[in-house]
Chain A
Amino acid sequence: MKAYLALEDGTVVEGDGFGAPGKAKGELVFETGMTGYVEALTDPSYNGQLLMLTYPLIGNYGVNSDDYQSEGIKAEALVIRDLCHNPSNWRSEKTLNQFLVDEGIPGIEDIDTRKLTRKARIHGTMKAVLYVGEEEKDEEELVKEAREQESIKDKENLVAEVCRGETERYEGDGDLEMVMIDCGYKENILKNSVKQGINVTTVPYDTPADQILDMDPDGVMVSNGPGNPALLDKTIETIENLMGETVLYGICLGNQLISLALGAETFKLKFGHRGINHPVKDLETGRVFISTQNHGFAVTEESLEEVGLEISQINLNDDTVEGVVHKDMPIKAVQYHPEAGPGPHDTYFFFDDLKKDLKNGI
């Protein structure tokens, strides 16, 4: 199959198409992990984005459904250098190509992904269109399409699209109760919480606070999810109303939403943090953890001073905020993904802390 990838700056690259034919639109983002493509593709936070992997050989170990972070692929498309058709791994169930075909997701390979990554680094993340199919395409048309689409900053439905929608309860083997506000959570957050013995009830992102408090949880986790946090008025309102009422934890988008609810501000990063090698420093112990990251927005450091949040952790690559703790209330949130999947398990201690805080209560 033919494949064209057009960017808003006028760049068009032609490569080989794979997966399902079709057109994908969104923001082209790069992820630097050398393993974890299954987890990344199924991470709901990639909704609205074309996922480009910087490691050139992808698909080597096939696809295993145990690694899914949601029920299927959430990224709009996959952009890589070299697709492996003959995977080799003891857990592999199917090829990556088959996975994309089954999920109706287009992919492009055999292109200079490093060139595109450099572009993103230098010019910032760009809007893009990928066409995969048998047709010859007019390049200018594609560029126009790339330019004319809505920016991810303004897309309002990204969370709604990936939120599971139903209230579900998952049993841990203890008596702690946690509600997770589902903005498009990753399975690993659930798994790690349940592993701690916590019973988790997931509720849709727009569930009002009183409904949550009615469940009488020991605490609430605001999950990760895609897009611009500032557009999620309902969730922010819910969080505002939960504050002081229960223990609040947040991961990634959840961290941004908690900060917004307290009156802090968020901004869009030039090209985001997407990888499994980011150094996060704990300011209390001075120790550094290697963390998984996937976010295009971040909390503005200066805006935290007034709202009672203290910075507990920072990213050593660019000094951005990685963790906040409230001075008075039991509120704790991190910008990275302590649940890994993909990525290092160095930050699993987050779930030990979670358990402790749920136990201590408000």
Chain B
Amino acid sequence: MPKRPGINKVLLIGSGPIEIGQAAEFDYSGSQACRAFREKGVEVVLVNSNPATIMTDPEMADSVYIEPLTSESLTEIIRKENPDGIAAGLGAQTGLNLTAELSEKGILDKYDVEVLGTPIDTIYKAEDREKFRDMMNRIGEDIARSEAVNSIDEAEKVAKKLGLPVIIRPAYTLGGSGGGVATTYKELEEIVERGLTLSRINQVLVEESVLGWKEFEYEVMRDRNDTCLTVVNMENFDPMGIHTGESIVTAPSQTLSDYDHQRMRTSAIEIIRELGIEGGCNIQFAFNTETGEYKVVEVNPRVSRSSALASKATGYPIARVAAKINIGLNLDEIPNDVTKETPASFEPTVDYTVVKIPRWPFDKFHNVDRSLTTQMKATGEVMSIGRTLEEAFQKAIRSLDIGEIGLNPNQRRVFEKDEVEEYLETPTDMRLFAIYDALRNDYTLEEISKTTDIDEFMLQKIKNIYEREKDIKTDWKSNLKQAKRDGFTDKQISNLAGVDRKTIRKEQEDQGIKTTYKMVDTCAAEFKAETPYYYSSYEDESESIREDEEDNREKVLILGAGPIRIGQGIEFDYCCVHSVNALEEENIESLIVNNNPETVSTDYDTSDKLFFDPLTLDDVVNIIEEEEPDGVMVQFGGQTSVNLAVPLKEELEKRDDLETEVYGTSPEMMDMAEDRDRFSSLLDELGISQPESRIASSKQEAKEAAGEIGYPLLVRPSYVLGGRAMEIVHEEDELEEYMEEAVKVSPDHPILIDRFIEDGIEIDVDAVCDGEDVLVGGIMEHIEEAGVHSGDSACVIPPQSISEEKIEEIKEHVKDISLALNAVGLVNIQMAIKDGEIYILEANPRSSRTIPYVSKATGIPLAKLAAKTMVGKSLEELGYTETPEIDHVAVKEVVLPFDKLLGVDPVLGPEMKSTGEVMGIDYDFGKAYYKAEIAANNEIPTEGKVVLSIRDTDKPKIVPIAKKLEKHGFELLGTKGTAEYLQKKDININQVNKVSEGSPHIVDKIREEEIDLVINTPTSGKKPKRDGYKIRRAVVNLKTPYITNIQAAKAASNAIEAIKEGEIITKSINEHQEKIEGIKNE
């Protein structure tokens, strides 16, 4: 059957910003779906607020809307575009929830839009816990006993019946947010309260605990003809009680017999039938390892994070196939893209094993609760492929990019016995390492298993690695081959055996041990595969060969960005994918190495060859040895790849047998830009200002430097990403305190001390340099003042408060610096303007996280241009020399993870904390900012009550803002100081108690949902100010819109004014870009 007639235009909803619980996987599934639809001649209308995605590239769909994901904006888009269908199951929970909302509001009926794939009923059946339970009972599937409740009282009653501990799951939330395990009634109250607030229907499920059971997942597909199949099953390393997104996962299942597996597989198929899903679905089971009994835990009636993992783990493109099914194709009518010959109506089988480990952001937060629970905290994940689990475990750890290269300690401490005990008991990101160290402390597998509920089968694999470590220490030479097969790198062996890497390489050569690359082909080699998707192993035969002898194209290896984490988001994957596209346009063979299963870059049809491997020097050099590429591109993969630039270049220079070069800006220059001293002299030579700065490697030196420069100071360790451990200090005490921590952070590097430019405007510029010309792609003005990390600051293109003259000056500086750095490729420069003077804060000749945002706003494909300059094209040849003028305004806003990380103070500072970003686009700043805030889930109200609690230094600045709010009909409330101050300024404001002043206080009011916006600027300094902190935590937990700095408050008041006085304009990015003149001078 061909595609269904009548479905000629499909609306696809993206998943919005990267958040904890929702990373890049939906960019991957969404882009696959776009291609799948369009291949069949179906027009695609795409909506996503996240500009950093590949799916929002204007080429990806017929119309791409970068608009807030709300039913209002979707209604407007549906009205404008008139799609035939809406693909609900391809855009995360956001997509399902919005589809449900549009259906409830009658919009889908009104505009005659059919829901494709996941029936509306099914959305409720899977998400509404009570309906879910009824359905499972009907088809005879066992589930944990549970009851849905709408209040704390009811929850307590249910908990009494079921017995503690109980699991609390809010309906309709993402990544289990708001859920948890309650072992006491106090915990129960807390979790239920939070859960009720977060649930879209104010409902949570109190569920009997199956803690300690094993967790399995099944990925199921179904078509209109009722053909069903499972793509893969997965076994969690961690037992029930830890969210599957927080668990280490292996694929396929390891300890299930065929008998066990087929029972659950059959249940999974029964469930997808009952749900009536036409597409993909994810089903989680808890399995009792003593009785073989199992229960259905959860169903996701859509593609999911797990389905992205399953796709990468097997080579079976779930989202792509689901999209085809959505428009009426049956599984046997869809070819298996990997083999070309066989259809998609089969079950993949693999001849390797896969390990996924989540990547947590705990390194970014002080005092954060690191325990792993039913609520997600991870920002991303890595996947590794090995012929054995030992190999896969070690590769996965290396891929995390946390300084560890395997299970044996590299940078981490060896845990003491009491720490081991603690880490085994309470699962955290450290538990895997604690298990390893437990073995070192002579724990038996039985003991570890008893404490952790982790299967001894898994623990044995870790023990095998430990045994190999001992072998290497005894006699590395005769154990070399086995060590390699167990996933040890040269560096690890070097650390353990005390010999240098060169000797190890030599020995490998002598013994004939070579890295082999095996193919991921969906079928365990049963059929010939056409897709070049490889992983490294130490076997006899390597399969990565250039099949066409005649093919003598230039060959370039691109280093990917690794897992999504704070400071390194989807933007770098976007850049990698664009560089691949650029190479393709230049007829150059592109190879990519990356280990993030959620991304577009690790889709098998993105590059000419994909290597799913860790990004360490050893792993990369192995690929270079195998493939002998002409060049390597290191500047697109963020800090992960940039950190490899210098060591890789050194290694390549040492090697006579390799002619591979690092393309683009030389690693020396990249390094130089990071080197304060050298970079400072360069700026001096160019006559460009910079904040006064010093380098100090001791407390004494730091104090002296502080004396010379004067407070406030910006202090940070050298060479970091995402502003880790960066701080503003106002006095010597704070400096001393900081020094103690900073030295711990980076012992090999001194700290940098800069004058902090207070109240300056911060500017970010992205440019491309070909060595002779410089294209300034976009100049961004930050909304927040300098001092808030640039990655956490909202910003706007074009700048709103900088004169033409200054813009020209900025451009000149960018050109001078880029050329002085001999940059070829991307350059990002951060500046601050104060009192008319421009200061350079930082220059980085590499990709930045703003590249996709700038490209979406201006229409210039910066990453592509950069890749082309790196293979020798000039900007002039490419036709891009002038910065285009735009008549729209594009605001980038960030999304912060505070709602997922309990206890963390939700304020912005020089340390980056945001996980993702959104863009708002319109024709004036106020409206664009308003859209961006809505998209970032921080909706600015247009009426209602606003609470102001403002620190003294900001009080004068709040006056005009408060006046504007008053003028637009808001009721103002203020804490004592703020209210009194504003009353004196003739503003009508009532006082509200601080928490310390007793009930009814401000937090009570927030809880009672009487407040529509809270503006609270925190007092400076590090000491916790309990009152402000309590307000901020309350607004985060209860999802009240809030603002924590004065510039944002000002922007918000402008936005309110703009909305009150004008209409929002909804236009596709294609339309916006068409209007930009002179993008390309042809």
The residue in B258, B259, B343, B523 that gathers the most chain A C-beta atoms within 10 A of its C-beta is: B258
Q: By the criterion CB–CB under 8 Å, are B332 and A316 in contact?
A: yes
Q: By the criterion CB–CB under 8 Å, are B262 and A343 in contact?
A: yes
Given the known interface contacts A89-B255, A114-B541, A316-B345, the answer about A57 and B389 at a Cβ–Cβ threshold of 8 Å is: yes
Segment at the interface with A among B285-293, B700-708, B793-801, B1048-1056: B285-293
Q: By the criterion CB–CB under 8 Å, are B262 and A317 in contact?
A: no
A sample of 22 cross-chain residue pairs with beta-carbon separation below 8 angstroms, ordered by A number, consists of A13-B540, A39-B258, A54-B351, A55-B349, A87-B255, A87-B457, A88-B289, A88-B457, A90-B288, A90-B289, A91-B292, A112-B539, A114-B525, A117-B351, A117-B524, A275-B526, A278-B346, A279-B345, A288-B227, A316-B332, A317-B346, A340-B262
**Chain A contacts to B: CB under 8 angstroms:** 13, 30, 32-36, 38-39, 54-57, 60-61, 64, 66-67, 81-82, 84, 86-91, 111-115, 117-118, 121, 275-279, 281, 285-290, 316-317, 340-346
A323 to chain B, nearest CB (A): 15
Given the known interface contacts A32-B524, A121-B528, A288-B332, the answer about A346 and B254 at a Cβ–Cβ threshold of 8 Å is: no
B1073 within 8 A of A: no
A320 to chain B, nearest CB (A): 12
Q: Cα distance A316–B456 when bound, in Å? A: 40
Residue of A54, A288, A345 touching B262 (CB-CB under 8 A): A345
B350 within 8 A of A: yes
Q: By the criterion CB–CB under 8 Å, are B346 and A290 in contact?
A: yes
Q: By the criterion CB–CB under 8 Å, are A32 and B526 in contact?
A: yes
Q: Cα distance A67–B388 when bound, in Å? A: 25
Chain A residue nearest to B233 (CB atoms) is A34
B225 within 8 A of A: yes
**Which residues of chain B (298-356) have a CB below 8 Å from chain A?**
330-332, 341-343, 345-353
Given the known interface contacts A317-B346, A344-B265, the answer about A32 and B539 at a Cβ–Cβ threshold of 8 Å is: no
Q: Cα distance A344–B229 when bound, in Å? A: 10
Q: Cα distance A17–B387 when bound, in Å? A: 19
Residue of A33, A60, A277 touching B255 (CB-CB under 8 A): A60
Q: Cα distance A275–B348 when bound, in Å? A: 11
Q: By the criterion CB–CB under 8 Å, are A54 and B256 in contact?
A: no
Residue of B227, B341, B455 touching A88 (CB-CB under 8 A): B455
Q: By the criterion CB–CB under 8 Å, are B526 and A346 in contact?
A: no
The residue in A35, A91, A112, A113 that gathers the most chain B C-beta atoms within 10 A of its C-beta is: A35
Q: Cα distance A81–B386 when bound, in Å? A: 12
Q: By the criterion CB–CB under 8 Å, are B262 and A344 in contact?
A: yes
A29 to chain B, nearest CB (A): 12
Binary per-residue interface labels of chain B (258-269) against chain A in the complex, 1 for a CB within 8 Å, 0 otherwise: 111110011001
A93 to chain B, nearest CB (A): 11
Q: Cα distance A132–B258 when bound, in Å? A: 28
Q: By the criterion CB–CB under 8 Å, are B254 and A57 in contact?
A: yes
Given the known interface contacts A115-B539, A121-B528, A277-B346, the answer about A86 and B460 at a Cβ–Cβ threshold of 8 Å is: yes
Given the known interface contacts A39-B258, A316-B332, the answer about A55 and B346 at a Cβ–Cβ threshold of 8 Å is: no
Q: By the criterion CB–CB under 8 Å, are A61 and B346 in contact?
A: no
B226 within 8 A of A: yes
Chain B residue nearest to A40 (CB atoms) is B258
Q: By the criterion CB–CB under 8 Å, are B541 and A57 in contact?
A: no
Across-interface contacts of B292 in A (CB, < 8 A)? 90-91
Across-interface contacts of B923 in A (CB, < 8 A)? none
B257 within 8 A of A: yes
Q: Cα distance A341–B257 when bound, in Å? A: 11
B465 to chain A, nearest CB (A): 14
Q: Cα distance A122–B247 when bound, in Å? A: 40
Q: Cα distance A39–B257 when bound, in Å? A: 10
**Which residues of chain B (661-700) have a CB below 8 Å from chain A?**
none
Q: Cα distance A112–B543 when bound, in Å? A: 12
Across-interface contacts of A111 in B (CB, < 8 A)? 540
Q: By the criterion CB–CB under 8 Å, are A67 and B258 in contact?
A: yes
Q: By the criterion CB–CB under 8 Å, are A112 and B266 in contact?
A: no
B825 within 8 A of A: no
Across-interface contacts of B111 in A (CB, < 8 A)? none
Across-interface contacts of A38 in B (CB, < 8 A)? 257-258
Q: Cα distance A90–B257 when bound, in Å? A: 10
A39 to chain B, nearest CB (A): 6
Q: Cα distance A31–B543 when bound, in Å? A: 21
Rank and list the top 10 A-B pairs by shortest CB-CB distance, nearest first: A88-B457, A36-B258, A54-B524, A277-B347, A342-B258, A115-B541, A112-B540, A35-B258, A112-B539, A288-B227
Q: By the criterion CB–CB under 8 Å, are B388 and A82 in contact?
A: yes
Residue of A54, A67, A279 touching B259 (CB-CB under 8 A): A67
A84 to chain B, nearest CB (A): 7
Q: By the criterion CB–CB under 8 Å, are A67 and B257 in contact?
A: yes
Q: Cα distance A275–B253 when bound, in Å? A: 17
Q: By the criterion CB–CB under 8 Å, are B523 and A32 in contact?
A: yes
The residue in A33, A275, A287 that gathers the most chain B C-beta atoms within 10 A of its C-beta is: A287
Chain A residue nearest to B540 (CB atoms) is A112
Q: Cα distance A82–B528 when bound, in Å? A: 24
Q: By the criterion CB–CB under 8 Å, are A286 and B225 in contact?
A: yes
A344 to chain B, nearest CB (A): 6
Given the known interface contacts A87-B457, A112-B541, A281-B332, the answer about A33 and B258 at a Cβ–Cβ threshold of 8 Å is: yes
Q: Cα distance A138–B457 when bound, in Å? A: 37
Q: Cα distance A130–B647 when bound, in Å? A: 47
B295 within 8 A of A: no
Q: By the criterion CB–CB under 8 Å, are A286 and B330 in contact?
A: yes
Q: By the criterion CB–CB under 8 Å, are B351 and A113 in contact?
A: yes
Across-interface contacts of A81 in B (CB, < 8 A)? 351, 387-388
Q: By the criterion CB–CB under 8 Å, are B226 and A290 in contact?
A: no
B235 to chain A, nearest CB (A): 10
Across-interface contacts of B525 in A (CB, < 8 A)? 54, 114, 117-118, 121
Across-interface contacts of B539 in A (CB, < 8 A)? 112, 114-115
- 18 additional A-B pairs beyond A84-B457, A91-B260, beta carbons within 8 Å, are A13-B540, A30-B524, A32-B523, A34-B252, A54-B349, A88-B455, A88-B456, A89-B260, A112-B540, A117-B526, A118-B525, A121-B527, A279-B345, A281-B332, A286-B225, A288-B332, A316-B342, A341-B258
Q: By the criterion CB–CB under 8 Å, are B291 and A90 in contact?
A: yes
A9 to chain B, nearest CB (A): 14
Q: Cα distance A216–B149 when bound, in Å? A: 63
Q: Cα distance A30–B525 when bound, in Å? A: 10
Binary per-residue interface labels of chain B (516-529) against chain A in the complex, 1 for a CB within 8 Å, 0 otherwise: 00100001111110
Q: Cα distance A276–B342 when bound, in Å? A: 15
Chain A residue nearest to B332 (CB atoms) is A288
Across-interface contacts of A90 in B (CB, < 8 A)? 288-292
Across-interface contacts of B349 in A (CB, < 8 A)? 32-34, 54-55, 275-277
Across-interface contacts of A56 in B (CB, < 8 A)? 351-353, 387-388
Q: Cα distance A113–B348 when bound, in Å? A: 18
The residue in B260, B342, B525, B528 that gathers the most chain A C-beta atoms within 10 A of its C-beta is: B525
Across-interface contacts of B518 in A (CB, < 8 A)? 114
Q: By the criterion CB–CB under 8 Å, are B257 and A316 in contact?
A: no
Across-interface contacts of B341 in A (CB, < 8 A)? 317
Q: Cα distance A36–B259 when bound, in Å? A: 8
Chain B residue nearest to A111 (CB atoms) is B540
Q: By the criterion CB–CB under 8 Å, are B388 and A57 in contact?
A: yes
B238 to chain A, nearest CB (A): 15
Chain A residue nearest to B523 (CB atoms) is A32
Across-interface contacts of A60 in B (CB, < 8 A)? 254-255, 457
Chain B residue nearest to A289 (CB atoms) is B227
Q: Cα distance A342–B455 when bound, in Å? A: 24
Q: By the criterion CB–CB under 8 Å, are A88 and B524 in contact?
A: no
Given the known interface contacts A61-B257, A86-B460, A277-B348, the answer about A287 and B226 at a Cβ–Cβ threshold of 8 Å is: yes
Chain A residue nearest to B331 (CB atoms) is A288
Across-interface contacts of A33 in B (CB, < 8 A)? 258, 349
B480 to chain A, nearest CB (A): 15
Across-interface contacts of B269 in A (CB, < 8 A)? 346
Across-interface contacts of A277 in B (CB, < 8 A)? 346-349
The residue in B341, B343, B349, B524 that gathers the most chain A C-beta atoms within 10 A of its C-beta is: B524
Across-interface contacts of A91 in B (CB, < 8 A)? 257, 259-260, 292
Across-interface contacts of B289 in A (CB, < 8 A)? 88-90
Chain B residue nearest to A120 (CB atoms) is B525
